[in-house]
Amino acid sequence: MQKILNSRFSLAVVSIFFSIILFLTAAANNYSRVGTQISGATETYTHTLTDVPIDIKYDSDKYYVSGYSYEAQVYLTSTNRVKLDSEINSDTRSFKVVADLSKAEIGTGTVTAKLKVTNLPSGLTATVSPKTISITIGKKKTETFSVEGKVDASQLADGYELKSVSTNLSEVEVTSDEATIDQIDHVVASLPDDTVLDSDYSDKATLQAVSTDGTILPSVIKPAKAELKVEVKKITKTVPVSLKVVGDMSESLSNIDYKLSNQTVTISGSQEAVAAVNEVVAEVDITNVTKNTSKTVSLSADNVTIEPNVVTVQLTVKKK
């Protein structure tokens, strides 16, 4: 009986021992899992923004700035995804990229300004590229200049030439720095570069200040646009019609008199094609003509259009 009790006691002790071991093992594993979850909560998020506007700080009442890049690239980093997303969206963005010229030495022309990110929310870091930009700054000056319409020859369709160009404004106010104002000769209202005319044109055109050689100069123009009207016409020339008789005259006739319904016609085409044509030939065949008659003859010439493109030849015969 004593042996049985000792045996049961031993089994109980062993069972308790293994239970403690299993408990400690489970607790250790659970601690390890919790530690892993905490470590994963520190994930870092990044995003690169392009074309972020640059805010130039300067006295706009006294000075005019130009010649700088208008956008920068910003690299954002944060552990807070919500804050990062808010700054990525331009509608909810609070930070700005700033170039401060408030303490720049005016009169030096081009200055180098350092770019800074301001109003950045806590928990975010930002790196801006480029680090600096070059800006031309000078004393502001406003003058009045005349407005001219402009159409390049390459913007006229083949076979057309410019008839007239006009704008609804004769002059406008132009603001820039003093050095640039001194270079401006006039203001142009230019036909859009991608436009080719084969008919009259009328639309708003952006105004640009230019020098005597046509170089576009930085400026602010009021008003910024003008109504541009362009009239074009076909390239034409009046040329004589010459008669060419082919075939054999009937033996019953002694002569045939010829009279053209048109002595001249109008040709149109490219400048080169029109210049190359000095007359149009009307060819009439007199084979088998034995009495008074009229014939309609088609006209043609190389690379041009002819108006009218047919003439009537009146044939008056004289018998032997």
pLDDT of residue 202: 96
pLDDT of residue 283: 95
Residues 62 and 51: their CA atoms lie apart, in Å, by 28
Give the CATH number, domain containing residue 245.
Answer: 2.170.120.40
Give yes or no: residues 186 and 122 share one domain.
no
Residues 127 and 116: their CA atoms lie apart, in Å, by 9
The last residue of one of the domains, among 234, 258, 284, is 234
Give yes or no: residues 159 and 134 share one domain.
no
Give yes or no: residues 214 and 296 share one domain.
no
Give yes or no: residues 261 and 303 share one domain.
yes
Residues 30 and 46: their CA atoms lie apart, in Å, by 32
Number of domains in the chain: 3
Give yes or no: residues 198 and 281 share one domain.
no
Residue 13 has pLDDT above 80, yes or no: no
Give yes or no: residues 83 and 148 share one domain.
no
pLDDT of residue 105: 67
Give yes or no: residues 224 and 152 share one domain.
yes
Phi, psi of 104 (to 5 degrees): -70, 150
Q: pLDDT confidence of 25, banded at 50, 70, 90?
A: very low
Residue 299 has pLDDT above 50, yes or no: yes
Q: Which of 173, 182, 170, 320 is nearest to 254 (CA)?
A: 320
The last residue of one of the domains, among 90, 115, 138, is 138
Give yes or no: residues 297 and 213 share one domain.
no
- 45-55 pLDDT per residue, tens: 999 999 999 99
Give yes or no: residues 144 and 124 share one domain.
no
Residues 63 and 59: their CA atoms lie apart, in Å, by 6
Q: pLDDT confidence of 31, banded at 50, 70, 90?
A: very low
In a domain, 14, yes or no: no
Give yes or no: residues 172 and 205 share one domain.
yes
Q: pLDDT confidence of 308, banded at 50, 70, 90?
A: very high
Distances (CA, A) of 61 to 139, 175, 221, 229, 280: 9, 11, 16, 35, 68
The last residue of one of the domains, among 234, 255, 270, is 234
| The length of the chain, given as a count of residues | 320
In a domain, 273, yes or no: yes
In a domain, 108, yes or no: yes
**pLDDT, mean over the chain:** 87
- 77-124 pLDDT per residue, tens: 999 999 999 999 999 999 999 999 887 766 658 888 999 999 999 999
Give yes or no: residues 123 and 160 share one domain.
no
- CB-based contact 261:297 (threshold 8 Å): no
Give the CATH number, domain containing residue 71.
Answer: 2.170.120.30
pTM listed for this prediction: 0.68
- 274-298 pLDDT per residue, tens: 999 999 999 999 999 999 999 999 9
pLDDT of residue 264: 96
- CB-based contact 199:236 (threshold 8 Å): no
- 208-267 pLDDT per residue, tens: 999 999 999 999 999 999 999 999 999 999 999 999 999 999 989 999 999 999 999 999
In a domain, 20, yes or no: no
Q: Are strands 186-190 and 132-150 parallel, antiparallel or unpaired?
A: parallel
Question: What is the separation of C-alpha 267 from the centre of its chain, rounded to a whole number of angstroms?
Answer: 37
Give yes or no: residues 296 and 310 share one domain.
yes
- 161-210 pLDDT per residue, tens: 999 999 999 999 999 999 999 999 999 999 999 999 999 999 999 999 99
In a domain, 120, yes or no: yes
In a domain, 180, yes or no: yes
Residues of the domain holding 289: 236-319
In a domain, 32, yes or no: no
In a domain, 102, yes or no: yes
The token duo for 42 is: 């520190």
